[in-house]
Structure formats: C-alpha cells, structure tokens
Structure 1
C-alpha cells in the first residue's frame, strides 16, 4: 500500500516537473519521499539530494480532511522568471503576458457563483482609458436573494495583546506591563505608583513613586489589524489613492447601493464615552502626524456628469439611535469649529429645517458670543418662520439680553412688521424698561424720536401725547379730544382751568 502511494506521488511529481518543458530537455531521477504516520497533520516531504534535508510539500489535516499546501503558493518559473508577474491563478481563456502561456487554475464555481483570479483590464469609467490591473479578482454573482454572496471575505479573531493602562497609587510587581500615554512600560523595581503622572520618559529606571519602569515601546505595538493596506508615493509618481472602492450602478439598477459599509458592534459591556473605559470604537479614524499638513480629513467630491449634483447631502447622519449627544462634534483646537466657502448658488451656510428642539444651540462659556455674525450682508440674523412663541427669546441671566454695538447708519433696531406692538416689555426691571443712557451720560442727543402726529399713549389709546410739526404744537388728548397744547414759542392753551400754586 505504501509502495503504491510512493509510486503514485513520484509519478505526479514527474508529471508536474515535466509540464513546463519538453521531456528531452531535462533528465529526472526518482526522488526519495517520506510521509509521517502520526500527528494532527502528517507531513509529506521530499529529501533534497545535495543537503540531505527534507523539503515539506504539505500535510493532510486529519480533523478537516483537507490538504495544506507548503509552501503556500504555486509559481510559474522559466527562463524569464525575474521579469514574470507575481504568482496568480488564471482562467483557461484569460490571456497572460505574451510568451507566458497559461498558468494556475481554471475558473471555478463555489456557492452558486463563478470565481477566478485573473488579469483583466477593469471597467471603462466613462470616456477614460480602461484601468490596467497587475493582479485582480473578478467575481460574478449567480445566487438569488436567499443567499448572501461576497467576492472576498476575511474573518479575524483577536484574543491576545491587551495592555492595561497605568493607574495611580497602585502596587506593582516586577515584570508587569502597563501603558501610559502612547508608550508601554515594564516594571523593573516593585513598589507603589505615584498619585498622578505616571512614567513618561525614555530608557530605564524611570521614577514613579517607589516603582521603577523601563520603556518597552509604543502603545500601538499591540495593534491587531484584520486587513492592512498601504501605499507610498515618491517623486515622479502620478495621482495616488491608498484605496479606491468603485461602485458603478448600471442602467436598470433599482436596489440600494453603498460604496462602503462599516459595521461596528460593541458587546463589551461598556458604552463608549469620552475618557471612559471604552473610548472607542469609532467608525472611521483619520490620523497621521507627518511633516506637512494635509488638505482635508474628510472630502466629498468627484466628477459630476451633465451638471447634475453628485450627492443629495455631502454628509448624512441617519437613523434615530445613530448618535447619542451630537451628529457632528468638533473636539479640535482649530480656529473655526465649522466654516463654509462661498459659491454663487449657495442659499444657506447653515440650515435647520427639522422639527428638533432648537435650530441652533450654543452652550458653554463663550469668550465673545454664543452667536457671532461678522458678515457684510444686509441682515446678520433673520428669523422668518411661523414661530409659535417668539422669533427671539432670551431666558438667561446675562447682564444684557441684547447688546448692540457699532455705527449703524439707519437704526440699531428696525421693526417693519405688522404686529400689534413693535416692542413689548413685561419683565420685572430694577431700573427701567428702556434705558438710553451710556456709561458717561446720555448715549445720544435724542432718547426717543417719533414721526409727525405719531402718538405716545398711556393705558391704550385713552391718554396720548403727539406733536404737530406744521402747527408747531405739542398736544395732550384724552378720548381723542385735545385737552392741552404748548407751541414752540412757549404759549400754553388748556381746555380746562389753570390753577397756580396748588398741589397738582
């Protein structure tokens, strides 16, 4: 039985070795082959005649009943091997480079879909040149809605490498590993850590209370990555993309489509909080500290066709339970938390059209203002909705509810509405409802000015003052009848009796 197996394997090796060149060009001898008779994955090996060492070809996994290839690739070799493309599986009808013939495996069917690794040019993006790929995977789905199909799937399970953070006033023993900031430290002298701070230096014998630490490396050395992709561009390179997911919707497509989806599930037992036990996870982390500044951490753009906008929204935060505190949070120390550029067809820099509690909320101790408008436009703040309570409401405890500064050519406050009252005051004022005095006296020459024959009334329209510019008289009327007047020359007329030297 063993002899038959060895003969079969030897014949297979001779057939594989002689497949690339004519049989007359080389001479072959029967190799010495060994096969393990025990272990979870018995090895098949060939003894190299010069060094007399066994070269493993693979092993048979007893549990899964599968063959494990060693080495883990099949490479086409020949006279032009240094210039050949990397090892690749190719379909029978796919052209490789000229003179290399066919290599690898045929396309195959798995889970109802057609699969195969091959070289191909890629789709034609509009009128641009077709994309040329050095190595690519092309998959075609075949199953219906009842079967999930993925062209390439990676499952990664990480169970090792956790480093606990440094803790204050804690007893540590020799050999314990902790991280503080961006670095990892190992205890070289046992003791109790300090009340604050922790190790933060290079080298060894780092003092921390009675503990002594040695820096071992960076905190990021414990990183576990399911899939890593890197690209480095040097001088002379064209435009470079580190990753380029292309999703093209063909004519007639009617389902949902996402260029990329990132799903994060947190079953750790801790809710993610800033500074909490679980600071992450985060959907997308944009990082990198190098010599020069990059333009934008997140950019939405591209090439629109026929003048059609590419997206309805440049950034869309969706679903009711997506974000707890804010859809967008700025935690940077940049000059502006939110800035917009100018385009001729832009209607709003900021628009709040939802039925939320507040269209704009400013919290925190602002150094200048909760809302600051420094525009040169006609209006700094405009409220024109159907407000059920007030267009502007101040319920705070600041020294001034509305503070107006500047050189206004027309008016500090201009009311052109058709409401019942231009201004209505109902508060409990400690001094006055309207105060026109500045810090050193009167703020202007006139505290109050009114139009010709406009009335200043008390208790509705029953008792009013008015000034007739043509007659040059100031009138006091009750019930619509003039009771008293004084002209610009000081002449006084009264409808009733004038009594002197008595209490009014």
Structure 2
C-alpha cells in the first residue's frame, strides 16, 4: 500500500494552519524530525525491499509526541502545539480556553456553495462478515462462526449441533455441542464494523475527561438559518426494525456499561448568563419533511426508576415554569391516559402546594368529570348557572349557584345511601 494512499485515508489534503505549519525540506524541528516528500514515502519501493531491516523515514523520524499535519507536498511533523478552542481575543468565557493536540487539523474552506467540504471524512463500506445465530441439528464445518448465549464461537472441529439446548456457552476452548467442538472467540459485540471509534480512559488523578467533544461557533454576523452542532443520521433502506428481541436499529444509543452509578445518561445544560435562554426548547422531537418520528411513543420509559418522569428533582435546582410544567396542545383522543397498576392512586394531589386562590383541578363550563366509562358525569352548565349530574345523557339532579337542589327523583330519609 502506498503511503500516499495512507495519507489520503487520514484526511491528507488539508492545508496546515498556523499551529501546524509545514516545515522547509531539510530543516528538522526539535526531536530530529523533518518533512518527508511524498515521492520518498513508497513502502513498496525496491530499495526498502532490499533492506528489510530498514525503518522508513516516516517512522524513524516520527517524534513520540507531536502534531501530525499533511500537505499536498508530503508529511510534516512538528512538536506539540498549544492552541485555543477559540482565539484568545474571542474567548468569551474569560478563562483562556487553551488546548494542545497530538493531531491537529486546521483548514479553511475554498469551494463555492455548491460543494460540501470536510476537513476530515471517513467512509467505510462494511463487507459481508455477519455471524449467524447458532441453530439446532445443523451441520457446521470446521472454522464456521456462530453466535450463542451472547458470544461468538468458532467450530474447532466440524460436526452437527445438538438436538436440544441453547448452544455453546462460556469461554472455553473445547466446548462439546453434539458432534461439534466449539472454541470461544469473543463477546457478540465483536461482530461489528465501526467507521470511527474513540476511547478515553480516566486514570487516578487524571482530571476532567471527555471521550469526544464537538464545538460549533457562530461568530457575529454568521447566518443562523441552519446550524447544527452534531448530527447523526440513520438511513434505513433495509427493513423495518420491530421490537421483537431480534432487530435493533437505533439512531443514538446511550449505554452505561458500569459497576457504579453515574449521574445521568443524558444532560442538557448551558453556560448562558442569567436572563439569556440557550434554546427555545430543551429537547425537540420533530417530524421533519412530513414524516412520522415514532410509531408507538415519542418517549418510552422502561427503566423502572423511582419516578418515571420527574420535574424539579435536582436538589437545590428546582425549576420554575411560568405557564405550565406539562402543556399539551396536540389533537389526541385522550390527553392523559393512565392504564397502570397503582397501589395508592392514579393521581395524587396531596403533596401539591396550591396557592390559597388556586385549585387542584380546573375545568371550564361544559367539561365533565365522568365515571363508569363516561356514563355518569358531573358538569357545570354556565347558561343555567347549575352543577348538573347526568346518567346516560339524562340529567338526574342539579344544584344552582344559590344552593337550590333540583331532583328528578324522590328525597328519601333513613335509607341506605
């Protein structure tokens, strides 16, 4: 493989910025590195093959710590460079948001508006390599891979799998399954092809750690008609992914593989000063281009926490909502449907601190409170100034604003109510 191709795979065609300046040929920076022309970096060149023990200049001159930058003319290595997430004269936080990098890419777009430009673009085509689930009474040739019990196994000796059971399990090297002998290879997540991966390992005393961070900066005068800090697209041309224990297609998956409790899986926060709102919405579930976002629920909670959906839960940070904590302006058959199994109450207002002139539940005239599926209801008739009770649509009694009781039936004494 030519190293020039390797350069392109790493996003090579980038003009270096001030922090990653190109070096004059033959002028080594500190550490003894020097720029190596692309025409010299051919891994398969004859002179390298004649001397198999030779380390090419690319690797021999690479410093242990440094910035890797590429140009059209070749590869340059320079020592660690300090730079700012924003130029220091534009650092609104006032803390000198300084950074340093081992890999630092800076580019300035040059193409017109009919071209999308990427300082770094990774494109991967995943070729067929899927591991099929283990099956009963199936003939497996030696070397065949199969998934079973959350792992991937390789047939060390071919044969026919067992007539019952769930297949091989554990991490052994000689697992008998019918006449097949399996060896453990890896957990089933290894059956994956990943275009880009980031791992940040926090060691004792390491300080704040991010595995990945993005920063989209809008300078004064920058257009705001469409700006997105991070976009993740899941384009499904294959098949539907139902919730059936077999399919799994998720645009963004936040998974906590942990032995200890973390603060949250998702935090929406802001550093905006007091009086400034960072967003119109904290979270926006939008049906773009007329499509439907979700089929069964916009938000589904299967986590079984102490509270399914809580507001003002963080100690000392109780939110204040000027209009409503929950506001539903949609067109739905039912605004709030409660169909769970409740040990105490479906709705409990005992802990609500309502103002003296406030109300637990407020209805407008004509709106009912009903029982037995809507056959027996109480409602206020504003025209007649009466609170009415109806059964199957027929009013049975009413109380007017003066306290007068009007009954369709008789008044009974000493009877069972």
If the length of structure 1 is used for normalisation, what is the TM-score?
Answer: 0.58
Q: Find 2:389's aligned residue among 419, 424, 430.
A: 424
1:243 Cα deviation from its structure 2 partner = 1.3
Cross-structure match for 1:288: 256
Figure out how many residues of one structure are paired with residues of the other and give that number: 355
2:96 is aligned with 1:121: no
The runs of 5 or more residues in structure 2 that have no matched partner are: 1-22, 29-39
Cα distance in structure 1, aligned partners of 2:234 and 2:66: 37
Matching residue within 51, 73, 76 for 1:104: 76
2:295 paired with 1:345:
no
Q: CA offsets per residue over residues 353-408 of structure 1, 9 Å max, x none?
A: 22233322334555665555553334886354687xx45456659xx999xxxxxx
Match of 1:487 in 2: none
- SS of structure 1 residue aligned to 2:99: coil
1:138 maps to 106
Deviation sequence 1:318-365 (CA, Å, 0-9, x none): 014222221111122322221122525224332212223332233455
Residue 265 (1) aligns with residue 235 (2): yes
What's the CA shift for 1:20? 4.1
Q: Which residue of 1 aligns with 2:33?
A: none
CA separation of 1:457/1:385 partners in 2, compared to 1, >3 Å: closer, same or farther?
closer
Identify the residue that residue 359 of structure 1 maps to in structure 2. Answer: 335
> Which of 315, 321, 326 is matched with 2:292 structurally?
321
Deviations along 1:222-275, one digit per CA (max 9) or x if unpaired, are: 22110111112222223222211111111122321100011111122x201112
Q: Distance in 2 between matches of 1:419 and 1:273?
A: 52
Structure 1 alignment gaps of length 5 or more = 1-15, 22-34, 36-40, 58-69, 93-102, 107-116, 403-412, 435-448, 467-473, 475-504
Contact 1:139 1:151 in 2 (8 A): yes
> Deviation at 1:203?
2.0
Q: Does 1:249 align with 2:218?
A: yes
**How many Å apart are 1:138 and its aligned residue?**
1.4
Report SS of the residue matched to 1:46. helix
TM superposition score normalised by structure 2: 0.68
SS of equivalent residue, structure 1 residue 349: coil
Q: Distance in 2 between matches of 1:422 and 1:132?
A: 70
Q: 2:303 and 2:405 mapped to 1: Cα distance?
A: 55
Q: 1:173 to 1:122 in 2, by over 3 A?
A: closer
Relative to 1, partners in 2 of residues 1:17 and 1:197: Cα closer, same or farther, differing over 3 Å?
same
Do 1:44 and 1:56's aligned partners in 2 also have CA atoms closer than 8 Å?
A: no
**Which residue does the alignment assign to 2:32?**
none
RCO higher in structure (CA 8 A, sep ≥6) = 2
Tell me how far 1:185 sits from its aligned partner. Answer: 2.7
Tell me the residue number matched to 1:19: 26
Match of 2:189, SS state, is helix
Distance in structure 1 (CA, Å) of the matches to 2:76 and 2:169: 54
Q: Is the 8 A contact 1:120 1:136 kept in 2?
A: no
> What is the root-mean-square deviation of aligned Cα atoms in Å?
4.6
- Could you tell me whether the CA contact under 8 Å between 2:84 and 2:96 is conserved in 1? no
CA–CA separation in structure 2 for the residues paired with 1:374 and 1:456: 32
What are the residue-to-residue correspondences of 1:380-419 with 2, within 5 Å?
382-384=361-363, 390-393=367-370, 396=373, 418=382
SS in 2 for 1:43: coil
> Whole-Å Cα distance in 2 between the matches of residues 453 and 295 of structure 1?
55
Instruction: Identify if the C-alpha distance between structure 1 residues 234 and 216 changes in structure 2 by more than 3 Å, giving closer, same or farther.
Output: closer
